Amino acid sequence: SSDPDPLQDFCVADLTASPSVNGFPCKAASAVTAHDFSSAALSGKGNTSNAFGSKVTAANVLAFPALNTLGVSMNRVDLAEGGLNPPHTHPRASELDIVLKGKVLIGFITTGNVYYSKVLTRGELFVIPRGLVHFQRNVGKGDALIITSFNSQLPGAAVLPTTLFSAKP
């Protein structure tokens, strides 16, 4: 990944420290406990009652401050039957997905406009190269669940339908 490497064992983010810097300043090491290194951010099922039938829940540095400087994060993607996580890119990370439930079509498009996709079932993996447009669609019966892992603590996401039609002027 591209996140700059850590220069000490850890630097748990202090999300409100001033001034802000590239990434985040560190919470005082003396205030860090084992609880900082764990998170329940992905424990609950996301609410898929929306137009896309999908919900992305992020465990990035904003939700899990211990990820600061460590260059890793995870999302859970809940998909109702037929649900779609619409085309998007992550500006700062590659992505490795594991399907935990259901039958999911995952695809990406290269900068040369070649489309690669595959239907995956429980336990199968799919990798999306850094910065490429991709999506996930539930093509099976019932709910589906994917864990997506990233080589950045804050990969970001540019969701194409949102970006094209609803950006704030």
Q: Which of 69, 85, 136, 138 binds a copy of itself (CB under 8 A)?
A: 69
Q: Which element (helix H / strand E) includes 160?
A: helix 160-166
| Torsion over CA: 83, 104, 44, 163 (sign) | negative
The verdict on 162 binding a copy of itself (CB under 8 A) reads yes
Please, what is the minimum distance in Å from the beta carbon of residue 139 to a copy of itself? 14
The verdict on 60 binding a copy of itself (CB under 8 A) reads no
CB hemisphere CA count around 146 (13 angstroms): 30
The verdict on 131 binding a copy of itself (CB under 8 A) reads yes
CA–CA separation, 117 and 106 (whole Å)? 5
Binding residues for a copy of itself, total number by CB under 8 A: 98
8-state DSSP, 41:
T
Paired with 56 in beta bridges are 77
Please, what is the minimum distance in Å from the beta carbon of residue 79 to a copy of itself? 17
The verdict on 149 binding a copy of itself (CB under 8 A) reads yes
Q: Considering the complex, state which of residue 54 and residue 97 has its C-beta at the smaller distance from a copy of itself.
A: 97
Q: Which of 55, 83, 84, 150 binds a copy of itself (CB under 8 A)?
A: 150
